[in-house]
Structure 1
Amino acid sequence: MRRLFFLAALIFLGLATRAQQTQKPPLHGKHWMAVTGKPLAATAGSMIFQKGGNAVDAACAMLAATCTMWDVLSWGGETQALIYNPKTKKVIAINALGVAPTGATVEFFKSKGYGFPPEYGPLAAVTPGTPGGLCYMLAEYGTLSLKEVLAPAMEMAAGYPIEAQTANSMERSKDRLKQWPYSKAVFLTHPGEKREAPEAGEIFVQKDLLATLTKMVEAEQMALKNKKSRKEAIMAAYDRFYKGDIAKEFVRGCKEQGGLITEQDLAKWKPIEEEPLHVNYKGIEVYKLQSWTQGPMLLQSLNILENFDLKGMGYNSAQYIHTLYQTMNLTFADRDFYYGDPYFTPKTPIEGLLSKAYAKERAKQINPDHNDAAAAPGDPYPFEGKTNPYLRLLKQRSALTDTSAQKKPEGFVPKHDAAGLLNVPATDRMYAANDADSLYMDRLWRGTTSVEAADEEGWVVSVTPSGGWTPACIAGHTGVGMSQRLQSFVLDSALCPFNVIAPGKRPRVTLTPSMALKDGKPYLSFAVQGGDTQDQNLLQFFLDVVEFGMTVQQATEAANINTNQLWLSLGGTSIKERMPHPGSILLNNNTPESVRETLKKMGYITTFGERTSGPVNAILLDSKHGSLWGGSSNHGEDYGIGW
């Protein structure tokens, strides 16, 4: 074992000394940095910075552009953000996640034979959150008008050259898209031809979406003419979307296709500004969103990992990988059972979950020599002076989990396309195995995008928007694709009593922007796409920078691991399809044979991939030099620009 640790240390030392030897160059900027999931969207952010906008303005422009480009999300999805305000020197959280509509009850979905709400279509939709979240962030913390910030997205809606990844996704999804008349009209630009979706480079036009964005800008400009303030004018655009003619058409189109969203649902919904959660990891304050996301899982993991000498183990040594895997299994088990909308009862016992004392008890449960296939939720209630009211449910829940090893055929190796591991539909068969395995991995990795922005004034923004991905059901003539986030609810309280569907409630989502402060100043802003792998990859990115001294670009490219020992948050409408795969681990192809063999002896079922880091986007604020470092993953289409 000592020899293995020594070898890992040498590997790390070689990595750390090759600061610039990455596949993509690190980004450097003095004035601003814009990083997101598409090159054109990053350009939109740079255009706003060049107009004199701040990081919030630029982030809103990038968000609007990615939605318009269907970067695995659309305008009808959801937005969640962390913003550092240099004026107050505080991190704030924006909750712009939609809610379950009227009629979305356990009884309704069970009567239709669902074990979980559906993956696609109008019955998968929560109310749209992104338009409201964008307007709120811009009004409260931006400096420019909605007209200025939406200008790049509106130009793109009028027609932009579509990239291959999105165009091919439309083609692969065309049979499903044909079920919905408004989606068919937008996405299938060559009906009846062999290829019905746009070709790569074709000018893709979205007239209905352009009309919707134009209406919002018109509402803002009319308010300004009527002597309203900048904030009031932007919120006039908000009102037109949620209470005006846009809302009426959205609801009409939703209901026509079998959806549940009502005009009252839209009018009642509002984005919420919240206090983020945070923990201190070795002097660094790490911030995440509340328990309506999976974000606290990363904070819990850091609390547990403080009890181990990670640097001494060595980057991606067998013991390091094992410790990470076991830690994540414990925190995912807590996520799966305890996380939910904090504005509904029962309320997540977040104080206990984030307790350092609770973390020490969980750390003691880690077997240093073998995987624990039966890793289960802990009991955080005593750590906030309470008695756990769900002990009976925990026993019921354990009966739902098959802890036997999930055998996979020899040669079970991921296949890759030009975009890397993520966002490859199940129909492409990412795995050379059976259909169930392919579908499981697609659902585990199901992607979205991320938006990172920072400026020299000190504003820093981290956003992980999502929802309304292709194949999306467009609501009437709005051009707006409806969210599919309802599927992240459960219908059985034995799975999670905190996340049972109810009208007006937010589902617990995988979306999880991140921010860290060091010495009271912004230090890191980072986010990633990829479903249940998001906080797995973000945890390892953070440790790569903090423990192993990597640059942000190195850390976005560094080999990570993925655990499959968790309940899926997306996809599948039965218990069997969402159950954990105990001991299943994804490793990088470059993992040394000695590490592979050690992990197998520890009870792991190993699979391998060429790129295992997830498309992380990040900004490091270099207080020593007064500059910005940007990092953007070396696969997928994520891209950054700095100045």
Structure 2
Amino acid sequence: MDIGNNMGSGMRRIITSLMALLLVATGPQAASAQATAKPVLHGRHWVAITGKPLAATAGATIFAKGGNAVDAACAMLAATSTMWDVLSWGGETQALIYNPKTKKVIGINALGVAPTGATPDYYKQQGMKHPPEFGPLAAVTPGTPGGLLVMLAEYGKLSLKEVLEPAIQMADGYPIEKQTADYIEQNKERIKQWPYSRALFLTHPGRAREAPDAGEIFRQRDLAAMLRKLVAAEQQALAAGKSRKEAIQAAYDRFYRGDIAEELVRSTREQGGLFTMQDLADWRVRIEEPVQTSYRGIQVYKLREWTQGPALLQALNILEGYDLKSMGYNSARYVHTLYQAMNLAFADRDFYYGDIYAGPEEPIRGLLSKDYARSRAKLIRPDRNDPNIGPGDPYPFQRGRNPYQNLLRDWNRNRSELDARSTPPLAQAEFEKTFRSGTTTVQAADAEGWVVSITPSGGWIPAVIAGRTGVGLSQRAQSFVLDAADGPYNVIAPGKQPRVTLTPSLALKDGSPFLSFAVQGGDTQDQNLLQFFLNMVEFDMNVQQAAEAPNINSYQMRASFGEHEIQPGGLLLNEQMPPWVRSELDKMGYKLSYGRKTSGPINAIYFDREHGTFWGGSSNHGDDYGIAW
């Protein structure tokens, strides 16, 4: 019996090893040959992709009017904000734009700031460990209107009136989608706390289902009036002889300094918020130079470290030293290597990223140094996860001295606090939902060469409606921390931007657009985008295959939402992951969970230089949809 058991065990090991070798040998080919749920979008003139079919149609409408990719992207941004596609008009907008005239990538920073009075002491006096997830005290100043107006003025062709027309029609009434209607119903008790939210969202008060029904015409009269005020400001300026750009600036001024701002401030303060007129007047959109790194000859661009975007660049720098293709797509070794690289990058994110306009200056040159990446890669154990991995010290790699060495030393010292933040098993589903929640994406490109990648967010349901403006306020203040020990560069202060998870991406090859890509999903965004990029570059997938391919997610970083929880060793796998891979990862110390769809709602455009065409990809993960011509 013992001999038989030993022979059986030995045979099982041999079979397992052979299957693993087979996966390594055939993984890339099998992955690149996979069938997809959605077809590739092929276009010659333009591509418009975003989080909802109706909003993609808005982009197509603008292209049909002669607009460029910036015009179309702004129309899709306006439509998704009006449709409550996990954002609204009071949220924030982050964008990368490729300008074919200058052949440069431009960053758009339209993230709001903490209002007057939003200090750590204020929130602590309210008995809070973090700014709240919902309500008026979760709000930063609205950024999306300003971001849209600046992008349109600087880089678009059409008028604001033309670009906002689809969104105004939708605000007048559109057939609400089931996903949004059901989310209103699920959150109705919280919505009832705020009078303007209750009046807008709960269209059937007193009925068992108080939210709109799927397909019901959902009307937002106050929002429609607010959008028409922006158009009126533009048209009045044009009639007075102002230039196109000056006329759009008039709309900007009406929102942030005029009667719209007055109602935003009045109603926010009425409901317990902190906005002042000065907060809105002082805020401005910033046009920035993004950061970038090179991976196997491809230049990858991300927004600065006020987003989590540079973490993807850091991970690419670490992974460039590995032969990922030889490991095999989603083999245990590949998954482990990805996870460890992401852990190192996100540990640095948690400690060093924050508002780049508030001191001290973040050490971004050191963080993106190839030498720093090689030093971090030496910490990766090939056989086991390290749940105690922490941030490194990039300052020596930019000839500087770390001003927070004491906090760096203590980062992982208090294990009891970290364990207290770990998620109880019964709360796993809610933890994962929060970790991956939120936002939408917008992708647009045209034959002239303009490329736009946007990850807007904020003001999702359940949102506080700001009085008669119809604007849903952001909830982004929750991404701040209240103590330097939890991230010295990201402590809340009036006029300061929180570090956000929102992270559009652009890649160039030989100086021309190669790939435009973005995804929704909170702290998982740059994890999914990293794998999407590697799927194409290392495993020869086309853009649609790469968008649908199953990803992994690490939960071994401090969440940017809620209670900022952490789950050392937490690893999400696709439920189709082979048992021998699961077994190997389990032995490496991972805490495994599984999901049916793990690609993330990725939207992307690949630029086929050989044929002069676009390839659009849109994951089958959610409602994302694209149109090309």
Alignment TM class, shorter chain as reference: over 0.9
Aligned positions of 1:441-590 closer than 5 A: 441-572=432-563, 578-590=564-576
* 2:209 corresponds to: 195
User: 2:579 & 2:592 partners in 1: Cα distance?
Assistant: 12
Question: Is 2:49 the partner of 1:35?
Answer: yes
1:20-75 CA-to-partner distances (Å, cap 9, x unmatched) read: x2111110000000000000000000000000000000000000000000000000
Mapped partners of 1:479, 1:400: distance in 2: 45
Percent identity of equivalent pairs: 67
Is 1:624 aligned with 2:615? Answer: no
Is 1:140–2:140 an aligned residue pair?
Answer: no
1:584-629 CA distances to partner (integer Å, 9 max, x unpaired)?
Answer: 1000111111111110111111111111110000000111110000
Instruction: Give the residue type in structure 2 aligned to 1:110.
Output: K
Instruction: Tell me how far 1:635 sits from its aligned partner.
Output: 2.1
Q: Which residue of 2 aligns with 1:112?
A: 126
1:30-429 aligned within 5 A: 30-401=44-415
Task: Give unmatched runs, 5+ long, in structure 1.
Answer: 410-432, 573-577
Instruction: Note closer, same or farther for the CA distance 1:406–1:229 as it changes in structure 2 (3 Å cut).
Output: closer
Unaligned 5+ segments in structure 2 are: 1-16
Number of matched pairs: 612
Q: Which amino acid aligns with 1:504?
A: G
* Alignment pair present for 1:14 and 2:5: no
Q: Secondary structure at the match of 2:486?
A: coil
Aligned match of 2:13:
none
What does residue 599 of structure 1 align with?
Answer: 585
Q: 1:584 to 1:406 in 2, by over 3 A?
A: farther
Q: Residues 315, 500 of structure 1: CA spacing in aligned structure 2 closer, same or farther, 3 A cutoff?
A: same
One-letter amino acid matched to 1:348: E
Three-state SS of the structure 2 residue aligned to 1:599 is: helix
In the alignment, what sits opposite 1:430? none
Q: Which has the larger radius of gyration?
A: 2
Match of 1:418 in 2: none
Cα distance in structure 2, aligned partners of 1:157 and 1:406: 41
**Is the Cα–Cα contact under 8 Å of residues 344 and 505 in structure 1 kept in the other structure?**
yes
Shift of 1:405: 12
Contact 1:357 1:383 in 2 (8 A): yes
Q: Distance in 1 between matches of 2:453 and 2:325?
A: 27
Work out whether residues 406 and 584 of structure 1, in 8 Å CA contact, stay in contact via their aligned partners in 2.
no
Q: What TM-score, normalized to structure 2?
A: 0.96
Q: CA deviation at 1:400?
A: 4.1
Verify: 1:610 aligned to 2:596, yes or no: yes
Q: Give me the whole-angstrom Cα distance separating, in 2, the residues matched to 1:405 and 1:148.
A: 53
Find the aligned partners of 2:217 and 2:196 in 1 and give their Cα distance: 19
In structure 2, what is the equivalent of residue 428 of structure 1? none
Let me know the Cα RMSD of the aligned residues: 1.4
Check the 8 A contact 1:9/1:315 in 2, yes or no. no
The Cα shift of 1:77 comes to 0.2
Which residue identity is paired with 1:621? Answer: F
Conservation of the 8 A alpha-carbon contact between 1:346 and 1:497: no
- Is the Cα–Cα contact under 8 Å of residues 209 and 478 in structure 1 kept in the other structure? yes
Cα offsets for 1:133-189 (capped at 9, x unmatched): 000000000000000000000000000000000000001111011110000010000
SS in 2 for 1:359: helix
> Relative to 1, partners in 2 of residues 1:404 and 1:373: Cα closer, same or farther, differing over 3 Å?
farther
Residue 551 of structure 1 aligns with an amino acid whose one-letter code is N
Using the TM superposition, give the Cα deviation of residue 437 of structure 1 relative to its aligned residue in structure 2, in angstroms: 2.0
Name the SS for the 1:398 alignment partner: coil
Does the C-alpha gap of structure 1 residues 405 and 22 become closer, same or farther in structure 2, counting only changes over 3 Å? Answer: farther
Runs of 4+ off more than 6 Å: 403-409
Equivalent residue, structure 2, for 1:417: none
User: Displacement of 1:441 after TM fit?
Assistant: 1.1
- Is the 8 Å Cα contact of residues 43 and 613 (structure 2) preserved in structure 1? yes
Q: Distance in 2 between matches of 1:170 and 1:136?
A: 31
For the residue of structure 2 that corresponds to 1:93, the secondary structure is strand
Letter in 2 for 1:115: K
Judged with a 3 Å threshold, the aligned counterparts in structure 2 of structure 1 residues 229 and 349 are, in CA distance, closer, same or farther, namely: same
